[in-house]
Amino acid sequence: MDKNFDLVVIGAGPGGYVCAIRAAQLGLKTACVESRKTLGGTCLNVGCIPSKSLLNASEMYHKAKKEFSSLGIESDNIKLNLSKMMNNKNKSVLTLTKGVEFLFKKNKITHLKGKGEVSSKNTVVVTDDSGKKTKYTAKNIVISTGSVPTSLPGIKIDEKTIVSSTGALSFDQPPKELIVIGGGYIGLELSSVWKRLGTNVTVIEFLDHILPGMDKDISSEFLKILNKQGINFKLNSKVIEVKAIKDKAVVDFTNNKTNKRERIECDKVLVAVGRKSNIEKNILDLGIKVDKQKKIEVNKKFETSIKNIYAIGDVINKGPMLAHKAEDEGIAVAEIIAGQAGHVNYEVIPAVIYTNPEVATVGKNEEQLKKENIKYRIGKFPFLANSRAKVNNETEGFVKIIAEEKTDKVLGVSIISALAGTMIAELAVAMEFGASSEDIARTCHAHPTHSEGVKEAAMAVDKRPIHF
Ligand code: NAI
């Protein structure tokens, strides 16, 4: 096999595999190294995709049990078959990872199996399962090795009793009592899954609110919604110690205000306190610059401190750790390497939490605008006043649009709604085109749809919503 490439991409997650495909489309002779057995990275194998499969299935189960009868659908004897639910999840993951394999073949990308390490400016060494090392040369290298879960000092994740998201996606039965440390994306999505499947869930969060970084209106409303769903919260609480004792665990934590110490016994503990960049020692040895959090420093063109070595995705010091951000960077860096003008607009990256209702945001939130001294107007519209949401029993949540006071330019949007994750795309497009709230208000939206809530919120910026 020819061992010389125009581009070697290290890591086949959403950043890396998309970068490899775009580079191949642009005529670059491309290889992609991956150490997992299957392509797709954390997202496809143990992240976005399996969690969405379980979120979908658990929601159906919950609805069949709790909501169908009120719609006139009598369904006695609804039973959970968790191993079947897990098989369905595994099948979806396999189909999608195979799909990436197919795309590699279609685009004539060389799939290098093993662990890839940059050994010099233009060489990558791949170590396969048997320990055999092979050296490849590359005119350009893209590092897209993603991120790994972090833990807390003294807490050892064993993926049995004390688990990361990986373990929490594969319990063989719903735990009776689950403690979730961290009220962020992972904590809240997986709390929802297991709560719906019958687990008693308590989330312990260090801050006095959930979803740090999101609009405060959203995080306080969402907390109320999750509380109503029966998820318990211990806010303002610092976990001190987690111990696994046989098949159980005890979690000790103190209240940040009162210093009162509490202990909860449980069957499983999910540690969801964030992720850290996944970099090997050789990156530092080579002299590639990283920041304090060990994230690779890149410039606008995704170049690291070494020429011809680029980095994208969770491993870099730019933007949120989100799959779609990595994908866009993958496309941009491939285009830059091919001599085009690749670009990512970090001002317009949507973020979605796939609970029910979903939470979605794009652009800036109110707190950020206050800090930046930018004057704004707000338009809010509750789904209680949206006809489609009403007939679907999906009246929780609202749309909040923030527009610049002087120009009316949309600066940020937050949505809580059953369909928020899909609806936010309209706002991302609008913001990319520099839309004003009036532009959205004067755009015809189909009736009856949840999206009319967006139009009404845009009209509310000018204090003229029709249905509220
Ligand atoms: P996160 O950063 O979203 O949330 C971590 C939470 O843990 C924060 O609320 C933080 O205040 C809390 N925390 C930290 N230390 C603590 C302590 N000692 N005691 C109690 N609470 C503590 O991180 P998460 O949920 O682990 O997700 C990791 C990454 O994965 C995120 O960057 C997210 O972007 C990504 N992700 C995205 C998803 C999506 O797009 N839907 C789904 C899952 C993950």
pLDDT in tens, 291-333: 999 999 999 999 999 999 999 999 999 999 999 999 999 999 9
Question: What CATH number corresponds to the domain at position 212?
Answer: 3.50.50.60
Q: Could you tell me if 265 and 314 lie in one domain?
A: no
- Please check whether residues 17 and 142 belong to one and the same domain: yes
Q: What is the pLDDT of residue 137?
A: 98
DSSP codes joined into one string, 300-342: TT-B-SSTTEEE-GGGBSSS-S-HHHHHHHHHHHHHHHTTS--
Q: Is residue 468 part of a domain?
A: no
Q: Which of 45, 46, 190, 206 to mutate to test the pocket of ligand 1 (most atoms within 8 A of CB)?
A: 206
447 belongs to the catalytic site: yes
- The mean pLDDT of 146-168, rounded to a whole number, is 96
Cα separation of 411 and 403, whole Å?
5
Domain that holds residue 51: 4-149+276-337
Whether 342 is in the pocket of ligand 1, judged by its Cβ within 6 Å, is no
Same domain flag for 13 and 135: yes
- Say how many C-beta atoms besides its own lie within 10 A of residue 314's C-beta: 28
- Residue range 122-132: mean pLDDT, rounded: 97
Q: How far is the CA of 210 from the centre of ligand 1 (A)?
A: 10
Tell whether 359 is covered by a domain: yes
Residue after which a domain boundary falls, among 290, 311, 337: 337
Atom 5 in ligand 1: residue holding the nearest Cα? 273
Q: Which helix (H) or strand (E) holds 129?
A: none
Question: Is residue 152 in contact with ligand 1, taking CB distance under 6 Å?
Answer: yes
Based on the domain organization, do 87 and 48 belong to the same domain?
Answer: yes
Give yes or no for residue 354 CB within 6 A of ligand 1: yes
Does residue 269 sit in the same domain as residue 294? no
393 & 453 share domain = yes
Å from CA of 231 to ligand 1 middle: 17
CB 19 within 8 A of CB 30: no
274 CA → ligand 1 middle, Å: 4
Residue 453's pLDDT band (boundaries 50, 70, 90)?
Answer: very high
> Looking at the domain assignment, is residue 307 inside a domain?
yes
Amino acid at site 440: I
Q: What is the pLDDT of residue 111?
A: 98
* Closest atom of ligand 1 relative to the 212 alpha carbon: 9
Q: Which atom of ligand 1 is least distant from the CA of 165?
A: 26
Residues 8 and 101 in one domain: yes
- Among residues 209, 324, 447, 467, the one annotated as catalytic is 447
pLDDT above 90 (res 129): yes
What is the predicted pLDDT for the residue at 399? 98
Ligand 1 atom 41, closest CA:
353
Residue 176 lies in a domain: yes
> From atom 34 of ligand 1, which residue's Cα is the shortest distance away?
321
Give pTM, 2 decimals. 0.97
CB 183 near ligand 1, within 6 Å: yes
Domain boundary (228, 251, 273) is at 273
Percent of the chain with pLDDT over 70: 100
Identify the pLDDT of residue 189: 98
The answer on 323 and 265 residing in a single domain is no
Q: Is the CB of 270 under 6 A from ligand 1?
A: no
Phi, psi dihedrals of residue 410, rounded to the nearest 5°:
-70, 125
User: Residue 317 domain-assigned?
Assistant: yes
- Please report, in angstroms and rounded to a whole number, the separation of the first and last CA atoms in the chain: 67
**Which tokens is 297 given?**
């420093």
Nearest Cα to 62, choosing from 194, 164, 156? 194
Q: In whole angstroms, what separates CA 321 from the centre of its chain?
A: 7
Any ligand 1 atom below 6 A from CB of 233 = no
Q: How far is the CA of 437 from the centre of ligand 1 (A)?
A: 31
Boundary residue ending a domain (290, 309, 337):
337
H or E segment to which residue 34 belongs: strand 30-34
Sign of CA dihedral 42, 428, 345, 185: negative
Q: Is 275 in the pocket of ligand 1 (CB under 6 A)?
A: yes
Residue 361 lies in a domain: yes
**Spatial CA neighbour of 44 closest among 13, 23, 16:** 13
How far is the centre of ligand 1, averaged over its atoms, from the C-alpha of 187 (Å)? 7
Any residues with CB less than 8 A from the CB of 139 and at least 6 apart, and which? 5, 6, 7, 122, 308
Please identify, by atom number, the ligand 1 atom nearest to the C-alpha of residue 275. 28
The residue type at 412: G
Asked if residues 5 and 32 have their Cβ atoms less than 8 Å apart, the reply is no
Task: Please tell me if the CB atom of residue 251 comes closer than 6 angstroms to any atom of ligand 1.
Answer: no
Give CA–CA dist 18/40, Å, rounded: 10
Q: Is residue 244 part of a domain?
A: yes
Dihedral sign of CA atoms 36, 41, 46, 52 in order: negative
150 Cα to the center of ligand 1, angstroms: 10
Which of 127, 130, 131 minimizes the C-alpha distance to 115?
127
In a domain, 293, yes or no: yes
Q: Is residue 170 located within the same domain as residue 118?
A: no
Is there an atom of ligand 1 within 6 Å of 212 CB?
yes
Nearest CA to ligand 1 atom 32: 321
Q: Which residue in this structure is represented by tokens 């979120």?
A: 55
What is the CATH classification number for the domain harbouring 434? Answer: 3.30.390.30
**Residues 136 and 22 grouped into a single domain:** yes
Question: Helix (H, G, I), strand (E, B), or coil: what is residue 236?
Answer: coil
Determine if ligand 1 sits within 6 Å of the CB of residue 353: yes
Count of domains observed in the chain: 3
Separation of CA 185 and ligand 1 centre (Å): 5
What confidence tier does 280 reach under pLDDT thresholds 50, 70, 90? confident
Q: 86 with 107, same domain? A: yes
Query: Which position has the token pair 């959970």?
Result: 80
- 355 vs 353: CA distance, rounded Å: 6
Q: 330 is written with which tokens? A: 């993958």
- How far, in Å, from the CA of 272 to the mean position of ligand 1? 6
366-386: per-residue pLDDT in tens? 999 999 999 999 999 999 999
Mean pLDDT for the chain overall: 97
Mutate to test the pocket of ligand 1, among 157, 166, 202, 275 (most ligand atoms within 8 A of CB): 275
**Does residue 293 sit in the same domain as residue 280?**
yes
